[in-house]
Structure 1
């Protein structure tokens, strides 16, 4: 991912960016799991225990101790978080709010990296790199994080350049499935007030799928990722801090885009598709997903004025991806989905003015700011092929086709329809402007009131939506749907939508006992942008209404024994209107589509914390963990589209009363760690456990989309040789070889789950120099 903004010196405990000689003493005296992290969840530095928001924060040292390297791993240590991957897309749900997002839509859990908003879900599960800390903000963040943060936000902060000396970190890892990983990070002071840092990373794996693809068949390709980050920092005066960064990533995913049809639909069975339920299978198409360029340029300017602190942030982001998927997931030559040109081009800017205690009353804390974002995203070319299928009869294998599709195919027969190969374009534009403000008033030492609000104007518009035909002479245009949008009832709708929203927040914070215990009650609203279904074959693009959420939360944050024990808990209630939900079907008139669930209700309770165990008897035995309980249902979801138990696409269904997708009733995490002070340095043994109840991948809640409950276990043995500051770690994941899904894809031909990795081992060495 991209990389860092807050100095390591701002964290409690030793700086992870400090020279290596300063660190060993701290590592010898306490477990790496027991720490409190300074966060910026309210755009200013605060202890996590002082923020009236449900938040879990992990420093880079703690992430290393827990074996966390990417966004998918975060769910193993964050109750209520569900993260899966499908065709290189990272799909994140938090407390039941999320979107099966692709590049044509926006996630409902916003991702920020070094204060910069990342609008896309593709390839976010890459290696985090050299991380300062990660913050998981639960619940809507509509005031300060604003755009598309209805479910929450994940904020990644990476290491900033420092002026105090040359130092760095080198990582090397080998593991199961012929996987290798390497990373180097160096900090280089240039002048007394100028420094730079550079990080390079590379990883490769053969993968755990052993299938054969293509015609003739060939083994499945593995995955490769490589990239770099360069950061430049200058402090020309003690009041001015300037940071600039450039990030380049490349990813090639072969086996990661694999999806075999495990449960063929009625149509799939009729066409001869056989179930392929394991790690081995055959496809007639060579599958891949190739991000040949993910370039991000960003920067920040921070000025500490006598009256306030001023921050300016900006970014320019571009990602280009190509991919090929076997749409039917079988060895039969039926259907292929290819995206030769898929991209997002986005720019953002944010300005903030924050109180710094130098001016104004001491009982008043405030922030005001503005945000601007523009982007064009989607598919410049998407090729959808139905190879060798005769659509002219009005049915396939006895299933009736939509009449508009039959009419289209019959009309094209005189124009030499080449095997049903459609060339589609679907591009969406966005321009978003917002102003926001939040203030905290301290009436007494034990009573605070926080008031906030955000006003946003966002325009979403169809850049282009067209359907064409690939012929020997090139692309032949069939329909230009760019000005032919409809609403959910099929009525004409403008191809541009201007949405104006004000999202308020009110929070009361109490410290009725002492400064170690805070109770808060908050109410807030958040909005996720509207969109259009622009990828269509024979129908008009559908308008998808904005997602709106109202949330109540009552929480407590407390600690005991001078912070050695920490416990946070919250109960919450969400009302959601127009929850955006995803499905795919040829028979719906397109390939990738979103629909609105009229209303959903999510209620829950969760807690997390850490503590030393038996400190008077056993040194450095630590436990961290938490649990989440959710009741998430669609209260109103009529007129829905999806698949029935036979896998046949249906419209105008009623899913009211069904469970919200990707939302288990309970999740639990725990990690137990013991550290021994050995000759030469500390030896650390850790054991992890993660549990999730069953959940559904589809709003229809049909059996074939249910992920049954499962347990995951892992363990790590780590030794730090302090003289060289060299840490060696042996780890095992999925200790009991549990079989579960890491992603899920449903089409007219059946379901294609992507299985998670079986038991795996890794040996890692990290050298700080």
Structure 2
């Protein structure tokens, strides 16, 4: 089967290349050229050119010497993209999975599954504001103008911890010229219901606001019971609101303010069953639960109430340069619970009744505007500030089967530290182990970038960012939660930490970094073909995992990357053909990794992966097929090849093939987690003019090679290669501006996982949804 998939992959690569070459060669033929010039503008939404701000100013995506894929709101709708987890279907090299209601993002082999204390390595920005949340970020996008996926380190301009890249989401801005909006309703499988509203309201010639609201709910596609006594899996419900206001008090001023609120509750991705029990679990009578039906003895849920963000920007067009100020204040409160053993046995569970993050940020940018200074120089200078505190004000861990007198856990020897800790407490009080773990951050940075036009076909870009980031343990304690609600203290590790080698380390650490960038952009042939090469460094600050039961907090070193890249961007036939390609090589030190084991100090722990090597190549493009014969038949897609390996990962903590935990493993030579060798995305769409409007049909194909969820590359935690097909057909009735779309997802009912959670009790798989259907109606007014 795998050979068959590889042959299909090679065939698809050849087909895309052949179509691209044929269309490119066709531009020299006078008859074809004349045919294109006399045709009306295409109605296919995929042909829309996207303007991006990947370099903090508006530019065509084909004019930026950066590997980037961008999609307008209309294109996302045309491709059936509803939330962040769907982006991997249209972006080769991007891997997005969920784990314990967290979104785990890897891009070109760079990412982190350390979702509790470490920031994501692929940063998320909304309207230019950095969002540190990994939890519950997979929300519906709402009123989106465009989404940009910036590949490779973004250490200069986006800076903070973006060693893998950045996902930049731009929502619609208020406009002054007219009142308009849309209402979207969607129903589908698993009693899915969604209603979204957007309106743009001009107040005066220089004051306007818009509002976007969404309400969604559905049954979980998992069937079974949770809790004792058993009850049905809770329904997922979410509500989100975003309001934006824009004011231009003078021709040189543009002031924008926004506020968002998101509320979510339900089972979410916390619903997962242990499919491969460990020896420990088997001793306790845990049996495998596969498929979409099973039972959990614990009351599993997730709740975000609320996620509040206030942000804004002020732009002043001075005579010499533009000045832009940005700021934000963010707060997220989350609660939830997880059945740690993933079975109907009352063995282990954890509650997070009080998890939160509070942060604030500010940024100033000075940008050249072409009004003064040499015409051959374009530059930006800036400063950035970020402060935040995040973690668990309370995390309760329930564990049954402890025999304090014999020093055993379900018949196995207790970890040494825990045995000593509990040995003085007999009998063991009735209640969970309560942990408090909070980590603080203070970060300041200065950055600059300049592009010099050496000739009319050669540009050189130089960038530099200096950053000081302090991480500190705000609180790290453990105790026993008693039946009266009080806590019996056990350990206070607020001032204690150990590094990956087990050596004592201070509870405060400062990462000072200087990240340079050099890129060269060339157009030696004509303006439609750009070649570029780049070299840059980026760093992700050190951090702590302060959640521990019987050991010191974990300190991990900064994650550092040196990246080399060369690429090409090209446009032919007046935009009917776009072909982009890139090859890259990364040297990475100290990838920050997470593992889960009760036998290593607590529920979770962090470690550095030593040295890693990543190299690969990507192509993406668009082709309007046979334009002289067929109107509006468009093929889009791309292919990513990735070789991502741990070069030096000795003395690593993790599980062997038998599921036994140890901290003396050698994972050197293993494939980096969540980094498949090949991924392919392709979409074929066609639009017809029909009575009353337009008819649009599309089919999407996504393929990923196999990959692993553990650095030890155990077969038990491997995701085998799979492919999916989605399809849609829609009719746009122009008189009413009403578009109706019928969709089918996972047409072949492929069985694969959205994420894997590995514990001492075995492997829990969150299976992706089966085949599903949806009907959407969107009315624009």
Q: TM-score, normalised by structure 1?
A: 0.95
Q: Distance in 1 between matches of 2:78 and 2:114?
A: 31
Question: Which residue of 2 is the match for residue 330 of structure 1?
Answer: 343
Tell me, yes or no, if structure 1 residue 340 matches structure 2 residue 353. yes
Moved more, 174-183 or 640-649: 640-649
Question: Which residue of 2 is the match for residue 12 of structure 1?
Answer: none
Identify if the C-alpha distance between structure 1 residues 53 and 255 changes in structure 2 by more than 3 Å, giving closer, same or farther.
closer
Moved more, 488-497 or 122-131: 488-497
Tell me, yes or no, if structure 1 residue 666 matches structure 2 residue 674. no
SS of match in other structure, 1:33: helix
* Aligned counterpart for 1:422 among listed residues 412, 433, 436: 433
Residues 89-127 of structure 1, C-alpha deviation per residue, up to 9 Å, x if partnerless? Answer: 111000000011424221000000000000121111110
Question: Which residue of 1 is the match for residue 220 of structure 2?
Answer: 207
* Aligned counterpart for 1:432 among listed residues 443, 448, 451: 443
Tell me, yes or no, if structure 1 residue 737 matches structure 2 residue 765. no
* Aligned counterpart for 2:669 among listed residues 628, 644, 657: 657
Contact map agreement 2:402 2:408 (CA 8 A) in 1: no
Question: Which residue of 1 is the match for residue 233 of structure 2?
Answer: 220
Question: Which residue of 2 is the match for residue 73 of structure 1?
Answer: 86
Q: How does 1:225-240 map to 2 (within 5 A)?
A: 225-240=238-253
Residues 297-317 of structure 1, C-alpha deviation per residue, up to 9 Å, x if partnerless? Answer: 000001111111111000000
* Aligned counterpart for 2:157 among listed residues 141, 144, 150: 144
Moved more, 432-441 or 222-231: 222-231
Give the superposition deviation at 1:542. 1.7
How many residues are matched? 742
- Large movers: runs of 4+ above 4 Å: none
Give the superposition deviation at 1:35. 2.2
Give the superposition deviation at 1:490. 2.1
Residues 477-505 of structure 1, C-alpha deviation per residue, up to 9 Å, x if partnerless? Answer: 11110001122222221100011100000
Q: TM-score, normalised by structure 2?
A: 0.94
Contact map agreement 1:27 1:682 (CA 8 A) in 2: no
Q: Distance in 1 between matches of 2:727 and 2:114?
A: 32
Identify if the C-alpha distance between structure 1 residues 745 and 307 changes in structure 2 by more than 3 Å, giving closer, same or farther.
same
SS of match in other structure, 1:272: coil
Question: Which residue of 1 is the match for residue 701 of structure 2?
Answer: 689
Identify if the C-alpha distance between structure 1 residues 87 and 491 changes in structure 2 by more than 3 Å, giving closer, same or farther.
closer
Contact map agreement 2:570 2:580 (CA 8 A) in 1: yes
Contact map agreement 1:629 1:667 (CA 8 A) in 2: yes
Q: CA RMSD, aligned part only? A: 1.2
Identify if the C-alpha distance between structure 1 residues 657 and 391 changes in structure 2 by more than 3 Å, giving closer, same or farther.
farther
Q: Distance in 2 between matches of 1:205 and 1:638?
A: 45
Residues 557-611 of structure 1, C-alpha deviation per residue, up to 9 Å, x if partnerless? Answer: 0111122100100000000000011111100011122110110000000010001
Question: Which residue of 2 is the match for residue 754 of structure 1?
Answer: 766
Question: Which residue of 2 is the match for residue 308 of structure 1?
Answer: 321
Question: Which residue of 1 is the match for residue 532 of structure 2?
Answer: 520
The unaligned stretches of length 5 or more in structure 1 are 1-25
* Aligned counterpart for 2:51 among listed residues 11, 16, 38: 38
Give the superposition deviation at 1:465. 0.3
Tell me, yes or no, if structure 1 residue 498 matches structure 2 residue 510. yes
Question: Which residue of 1 is the match for residue 418 of structure 2?
Answer: 405
Give the superposition deviation at 1:410. 1.2
* Aligned counterpart for 2:640 among listed residues 603, 612, 628: 628
Give the superposition deviation at 1:705. 0.5
Tell me, yes or no, if structure 1 residue 83 matches structure 2 residue 92. no
Q: Distance in 1 between matches of 2:519 and 2:401?
A: 61
Give the superposition deviation at 1:650. 1.0
Question: Which residue of 2 is the match for residue 472 of structure 1?
Answer: 483
Question: Which residue of 2 is the match for residue 350 of structure 1?
Answer: 363
Q: Distance in 2 between matches of 1:397 and 1:410?
A: 16
Q: Distance in 1 between matches of 2:414 and 2:535?
A: 48
Q: Distance in 1 between matches of 2:334 and 2:268?
A: 16
Q: Distance in 2 between matches of 1:79 and 1:28?
A: 29
SS of match in other structure, 1:587: coil
* Aligned counterpart for 2:205 among listed residues 192, 204, 207: 192
Q: Distance in 2 between matches of 1:102 and 1:378?
A: 10
Contact map agreement 1:102 1:120 (CA 8 A) in 2: no
Moved more, 250-259 or 661-670: 250-259
Question: Which residue of 2 is the match for residue 6 of structure 1?
Answer: none
Contact map agreement 1:504 1:525 (CA 8 A) in 2: yes
Moved more, 689-698 or 223-232: 223-232
Q: How does 1:77-226 map to 2 (within 5 A)?
A: 77-226=90-239
SS of match in other structure, 2:609: strand
Q: Distance in 2 between matches of 1:578 and 1:682?
A: 53
Q: Distance in 2 between matches of 1:392 and 1:664?
A: 47
